[in-house]
A and B are shown apart, each in its own frame.
Chain A
Amino acid sequence: MAGDLARPRDVIGGLATVAVGIGFLTMGTDLDFGTARQMGPGYFPVVLSVFLIILGLALVIVAWRRPLEEGTAGSIPWRTIALIVLPTVFFGVTLRGLGLPITLFLTLLAVALASRYASIKSAFTISAIVTAFCYLVFIAGLNLNLPVIGSWLQLSDRSSADAPTATSN
């Protein structure tokens, strides 16, 4: 089958599905089930979770009988994932504090290094270019509601509610 099912990848996939299904089922049964005529908030979620669990089990069963998959498909690029996901989280944490230009530049610096062709120099260059571009387009150009100077950097005694944003209220 295109996208052949293979062990252990799809057994893992199936088990993950079952686990997720059980999770949702647990949360769903906390809700009021109701009747078919007057479906409570839990009705559809429970039905869907049950389906999910069944499908997950089916996947495990079907995949179990498939040939063992060889190859390096099992390796997980932790470094790459970390360098994409964590800077994004960083962006969320610091955006209001540091303001867009600084946050974005730092975020992109980290992100750029996720590539195996990156160098410190190329990371700097691309981060600078993109940050400048974003500033021009999103703040100067489109006037989006983004903090420019973050609240942590306020020199005077102002609360974060007063942080200057591109659109002043």
Chain B
Amino acid sequence: MELLDNLAIGFATAFTLGNILYCFIGVLLGTMVGVLPGLGPIATIAMLLPLTFSLPPVSALIMLSGIYYGAQYGGSTTAILVNLPGESGSVVTALDGYQMARKGRAGQALATAAMGSFFAGSIATLVIALAAPPLAELALQFGPADYFSLMVLGLVAAVALASGSLLKAFIMVFLGLILGLAGTDVETGAQRFTFGLPQLSDGVNFVALSMGVFGLGEIIRNLEHEHSRDVGVKRVSGLMLSRDDFRRIIAPVLRGTALGTVLGILPGGGAVLSSFAAYTIEKKISKNRQEFGKGAIEGVAAPEAANNAGAQTSFIPMLTLGIPSNPVMALMIGALIIQGITPGPNVVTDDPSLFWGLIVSMWLGNFLLILLNLPLIGIWVKMLTIPYNYLFPAIIAFTAIGVYSVNSNTFDVYAMALFGVVGYALVKLDFEPAPLLLGFVLGPMLEEFLRRAMLMSRGDFSVFVTEPISAVLLLVSAGLLVLVLLPSIRAKREEAFQE
């Protein structure tokens, strides 16, 4: 069976000493970063992006993706132990997880999170292995109009699922799109938005933008609200789940996995959306729903499974279509582009060792995480006590060095500083920066497909609705928008984000 052949390639690639090491480093870093509030996978991946230059593409991806799903594990640790989710995918875990900890059941919560995550991660890996190749083949049927509409869907979904005002999320997207266009226009050679600066002829440096907005901007914001963190951790003992516990978590884990797997694939989907949805649904249908919010073990099992499944399946659109479904994936695409690989449907067939190696290593990463997490809990807890004022200079050091080393260009450092101010301004004005990054990555692509579609249709805009795939995608986008704008859904959405 072809799948077995492909998996064989994957195993051969993933299980080299080097790649095992990179996987380990990735998940370790990811967990660490997930544990530390104020530092997330986006900033970390952005910081390490320049370093991946010198690595072979598959190793780079293995390490970076390890950071992403590793952070989901780490984030749950802090969510449970100190009610401070280190990662946004773990926000809902804190709701019941922390309550369990207060009742002395921290160990059980942590064990549930770990096991749920591992199960979900393994299933998600399998799903990717099965679904990606046919999806890639389907994608080869896509014409430019279809790609355009798919990206529109992705952007609409990102906006719909962004917390906060829709209007402002849209503004962020458009701002990102325009910024993405800066530089030399590939088709005509015209200089756009470059202010005559040669350093901008290749466009705004993606790393400078992301590190500035997500790194520096975040730091300024954190310093503004700096307070000493009182950890007050309960002792963690007793990691064993009782039989009753075990029975209770099976269904939530299954449901969470299913939900996360599906939601992760959607553009705009990923860990955050999946965990929220899983928690909400679980609460609705659970027999023990009155326990939710007070330490229901299902309230930990479902979102933890979901966030891990969602994190991993969100790789699918990136790997098969070359379209990022969330800012982390946008960074992954950035990593691939640095390596000279253009992500798209061809990657699966042209570079099977890259694709399958990554998939197998994801499973390996999940395995390593479950080995790592439970024994190392003590260390993670100690790390939580590092005061922020020791942490952030290190972050700044890494970001400054990182952004410089992309092009050995000090201009990028200045750009990053500027974007740091911009990033802070955005946060201050209550704009969520993530859609900006997405728009930035998709801007040039969007334009290219628009151009091509128009060229082929001789200027006829109706092509976007006459092409069947495109029409469907646009319909879904419109539907999604309407759905989100409907008053009743609006209220639910606010409620979900209110917590």
Q: A residues within 8 Å of B by Cβ?
A: 1-3, 5, 9-10, 12-13, 16-17, 20, 24, 27-28, 31-32, 35-42, 44-45, 48-49, 51-52, 55-56, 58-59, 62, 73, 76-77, 80-81, 84-89, 91-93, 95-96, 100, 104, 107-108, 111-112, 114-118, 122, 126-127, 130-131, 133-134, 138, 142, 144-146
Contact between chains at A84 and B420 (CB < 8 Å): yes
Question: Which A residue's beta carbon lies closest to that of B494?
Answer: A2
Contact between chains at B393 and A44 (CB < 8 Å): no
| B15 vs chain A, min Cβ distance (A) | 24
Contact between chains at B494 and A1 (CB < 8 Å): yes
Question: Which A residue's beta carbon lies closest to that of B411?
Answer: A92
Q: B residues within 8 Å of A by Cβ?
A: 51, 54, 163-165, 167-168, 170-171, 174-175, 177-178, 181, 185, 187-188, 190, 192-193, 216, 219-220, 223-224, 226, 228, 387-390, 392-394, 396-398, 400-401, 404-405, 408, 410-411, 413-414, 416-417, 420-421, 424-425, 428-432, 446-447, 450-451, 454-455, 458-459, 461, 490, 493-494, 497-498
| A165 vs chain B, min Cβ distance (A) | 9
Contact between chains at B193 and A92 (CB < 8 Å): no
Instruction: State the CA gap A138–B481 with chains docked (Å).
Output: 46
Instruction: State the CA gap A27–B164 with chains docked (Å).
Output: 31
Contact between chains at B178 and A122 (CB < 8 Å): no
Contact between chains at B219 and A84 (CB < 8 Å): yes
Instruction: State the CA gap A45–B223 with chains docked (Å).
Output: 36
Q: Tell me how many residue pairs across A and B have CB atoms closer than 8 Å.
A: 202
| A36 vs chain B, min Cβ distance (A) | 4
Instruction: State the CA gap A35–B216 with chains docked (Å).
Output: 41
Contact between chains at A130 and B394 (CB < 8 Å): yes
Instruction: State the CA gap A62–B429 with chains docked (Å).
Output: 15
Contact between chains at A84 and B193 (CB < 8 Å): no
Contact between chains at B393 and A127 (CB < 8 Å): yes
Q: List 4 A-B pairs, minimum CB-CB distance, nearest first.
A: A3-B164, A37-B459, A92-B413, A115-B389
5 example contacts (A-B, Cβ-Cβ < 8 A) are as follows A3-B164, A37-B455, A39-B450, A55-B170, A118-B389
Contact between chains at A52 and B178 (CB < 8 Å): yes
- A117: which of B174, B177, B387, B428 is its contact (CB, 8 Å)? B387
Contact between chains at A88 and B397 (CB < 8 Å): no
Q: Using Cβ atoms and an 8 Å threshold, which residues of chain B touch A116?
A: 223, 226, 389
| A142 vs chain B, min Cβ distance (A) | 6
Contact between chains at B163 and A36 (CB < 8 Å): no
Instruction: State the CA gap A146–B387 with chains docked (Å).
Output: 29
Contact between chains at B454 and A37 (CB < 8 Å): yes
Contact between chains at A146 and B171 (CB < 8 Å): no
Q: Using Cβ atoms and an 8 Å threshold, which residues of chain A touch B185?
A: 41
| A33 vs chain B, min Cβ distance (A) | 11
Instruction: State the CA gap A81–B218 with chains docked (Å).
Output: 11
- A1: which of B51, B170, B413, B490 is its contact (CB, 8 Å)? B490
Question: Which A residue's beta carbon lies closest to that of B496?
Answer: A2
Contact between chains at A84 and B216 (CB < 8 Å): yes
Q: Using Cβ atoms and an 8 Å threshold, which residues of chain B touch A114?
A: 223, 392
| B163 vs chain A, min Cβ distance (A) | 6
Question: Which B residue's beta carbon lies closest to that of A62?
Answer: B167
Question: Which B residue's beta carbon lies closest to that of A3?
Answer: B164
Instruction: State the CA gap A44–B192 with chains docked (Å).
Output: 11
